[in-house]
Structure 1
Amino acid sequence: MPDHIDFTRMLLLAVDAWRYGSRDGQQQFDLQQALTTAVDAAGAGAGLEPAAWHRQPAGDGFLDFIADSGAELALVDPFVRELDAWLGRFNHDRLPNARLRLRLAMHHGGAIPAACGYASDGPVHVCRLRDAKPARAALTLVPEANLVQVLSEPIFGSVRQRLTTLSAADFTPVLVDEPEKDFREKAWIRVPGVSTERLSGLAEPEALTIWVAPAAGSDDARAAALASFAAAGIPRPDCVPGTGDAFIVPLSPTVSGDLVLGVWLRHLQEAIGTSGRVAVSVGIAAGRDLGEAHGLATGDEASAVLAGVADAPVVVVVSDDVHRRFVAGSHAGMVYPDSYRRTGTDPESWLRVPGYAMAPHASSARQTKAAAPPAHTAGVVNGPVSNIGSAVIHGSYVNGTVHHSHGTVR
């Protein structure tokens, strides 16, 4: 290990030309010239300084290292607008196979000067996004497009915070999954002037990521979780290898957020409560965010309640996104929106202890538990779906008036 490594984090722009290898030598020469001219002109038009960028060529494209981190907003927004306009003028009178079409990926990551350019995770990450199947598919799906723009999650944060003229709704979320290269990351795709509806085929299926974290000394968490999915009528989910008890549950017309957060959690509570050997905290995140689901399941709040509340074998923590989309305002009879409480963490999350009318704190372990719903009767494991007023009840139900914990009629 050297005494000093010149490590830094910088903006990374990866560019690749469409169908470069199918052209003859003269066409490739002309294309390389047009490519560098296009990017430099668009950068200047956006108020950037391409001459100060360190460029690592790759024949049909290149990788630009931009030390000026303040250039991010201009790179994401006006640079792409200028580049799309330049390409539109260049391609106007050209035959389809002679057009210059580009894949652009943008990332903010680590870089270390090395013998052949730069090393570290940043260059690898941005090139994986540029070469991803969804990015290639976008140019095929939209043959008139001049370019496709791919943003990494760190860069997309600027769009999400409304720091550009672009909106988060302008982008399509995709999953770049390359197991053979040990790469699995979320990215965001946009084709200027093309609706997200047209690109909807590129989007990853809506899903929930569930991380089941056993307490110290517990076992059989995976078996209990899998049995609970089956009992709830949910097809066996994808188990994420090498991550412990983590599951990806694709949502569909037959598998809803209500089913997971209501029926499945009830079956998990029953399975763990009767085993006497397992206590678990469960983190549930939107999409396929393993990191967030793990953080929710193993956070201080979940761990404290699991350790401090003796009769709480299951603690559930959901992300703010999951709470907003699938819990708040839900009318499913087994979701219990009123039983969640804010954790006060950053980012925000919500905690529930199944069986409690209000999620207890570790310091107040002897709160009044909610009456448990009646046991399931024979028939379909998750029962029929019944409508009572505005409520949707999974499984058997009891006639009568149902009240929220604060007294209003449910």
Structure 2
Amino acid sequence: MSQVVDYGTALALILREAAPFAVERRTLAEAGGLVLAEAVVADADLPPFDNSAMDGFALRAEGKAVAAGAEFEVAGAQVAGDEAARADGGAWEIMTGARMPEGLDSVVPVERVEVLARDGKGRPARIRLSADVQPGDNVRLRGQDVERGTTVLQPGRPVDSAAVMVLASLGVDSVAVRRRPRVAVLNTGRELVDDPRRPLASGEIRNSNGPFVSARVDAAGAELVLRETVTDEPADFLAALARALAAGADVVLSTGAVSMGRHDFVPDALRGIGADIRFHKVAIRPGRPLLFARLAGGQLYFGLPGNPASAAVGLRFFAEAALRALTGLAPERPLRMPLAAPWRKRAELRFHLKGRVELADGALRARVLHGQESFKVQPLLVANAWIVVPAESMALEAGDMVDVYAPGHAEGLKIEEVMQ
């Protein structure tokens, strides 16, 4: 496919090729950051038994308040980890998390009790309430957090720290997940210099795409298996590509050599090894020369343009969509918020703009930043979002609603308040 495709067509072609990985079982220690492939159903109650939420004294309220001033003999004690006990009357000293003695249903905190007498070991023997106690006060009931049989996690949910806490609390030792995608990054261009200590010769530039794309791969939840910088010689490129595939890459990202210049050799080199180029050029800005192919071994290939902002857009809105799909995540949905100031465009293309989401007067708004040229990297220091303007919208006014995306699909927006 050689003609320019629109964004929707390009994304559909990518998602058609990015079938989710096979399901694997991993221990909880190994599953952190991976995506669940199956629902997790609780096979136990949480808490597993009625227990005290306070250090204090357990009482029997019997469905009605126990008035301040009531006195009780202390008949026993229960600490966290004690087995079930039965109370035949009186009050029991109890610690936070301790199992409620059978027959008692409420807890009065220790600070709301006056100790009237102590036994020979100094433990409370008789108490008086200094405040009313309502039935059920300060008791955590069995299953109050999670009931047995409840679906606690759905497929497509990343195993983050909150999920780990719930799973560990339920005694889950392994979960069904899909592994991380393995990604290789190839930067093309004889002008690129990787060593920051080496002085630049005439015509040379620092390789910024390599470190940037590699960092973004990690932030997207993928595993970087290889990064190389290669010359503009097809043979060198194909040798590096072979090393990337030998390293186990599921996805290969290259930068540069996909436009229409005499040295833009990537499309022909890929065809020469049997790759199926699904599209080359998308009706977007920046990043129009983007190329997507399936290699002969089934790996996905994204040829990103060499300009930094173009490479960033290709990675963020196309390659990251594939990474989500491979791990079983649902397609990403943008936020919607008003534009902070008018904005115009001259070309009927889908624009991906470096933007900043601001909080002003208690409301969020999205501001298009200056410096949208594809070669400029400094605006990325200020940007905390991408603002997307569809092809058909040529002129936007302040207050018009726009789609807003975080810098990466696995990240949230980091918003600072703007003082008026």
Q: TM-score range by the shorter chain?
A: under 0.3
More helix by percentage = 1
More strand by percentage = 2
User: TM-score, with normalisation over the residues of structure 2?
Assistant: 0.24
Select the structure with the greater relative contact order (CA < 8 A; seq sep ≥ 6): 2
- Structure number with bigger Rg: 2
